[in-house]
Amino acid sequence: MTMNLRLREALMAAHLTPETAATLLQVDPKTIERWISSGRTPFPRHRYAMAALVGVSESDLWPEAGTLKPLRFSFAGICIWCDQRGCTDTECILRHEAARWEICPLCGGAPWTRPGSTCGCLNGLVQAVMTKFALPKAVA
């Protein structure tokens, strides 16, 4: 494994030491050192928290970790693009595949920690690159 220089540089740019970051993320300082020195990829919850902490996207710190994407359906089976239950529309599927997401800068990816917050994110995620949104149907 190689060193994660991106993480080291992001920590320095944020004026954080590995020890300070470990305290804020509630992990052992040796864990942060392993992420840097051995290039280990953290669990998703720690990747997202670290990215929010240093103000860099998760994919910039760990490009090999995969994409950050919410589910296309809510827990109730409602499509996030067209608000229809059990949607099989090809356009919605293509929109979802084309959309890029990042951690919400207003709530830090954890909207449940801010009761009454109106950041408008989707489970802590916002679109990074705008694609077509499902527009509300015109009222006749």
Residues 72, 109 share a domain: yes
3-state class (DSSP) for residue 71: coil
Residues 98, 50 share a domain: no
Domain assignment present for 102: yes
Quick: pLDDT tens for 13-37. Answer: 999 999 999 999 999 999 999 999 9
Query: 101-117 burial string, b = 16+ CB within 10 Å, else e?
Result: bbbbeebbbbbeeeeee
Residues 122, 77 share a domain: yes
CATH code for position 21:
1.10.260.40
Quick: pLDDT tens for 75-128. Answer: 888 998 899 998 888 888 888 877 878 778 777 777 777 777 677 787 778 877
User: Is the four-CA dihedral 113, 115, 118, 121 of positive or negative sign?
Assistant: positive
Quick: pLDDT tens for 41-84. Answer: 888 888 888 988 998 877 788 877 766 678 888 888 899 889 99
Domain assignment present for 137: no
Identify the domain containing residue 31 by its residue range: 5-65
Domain assignment present for 140: no
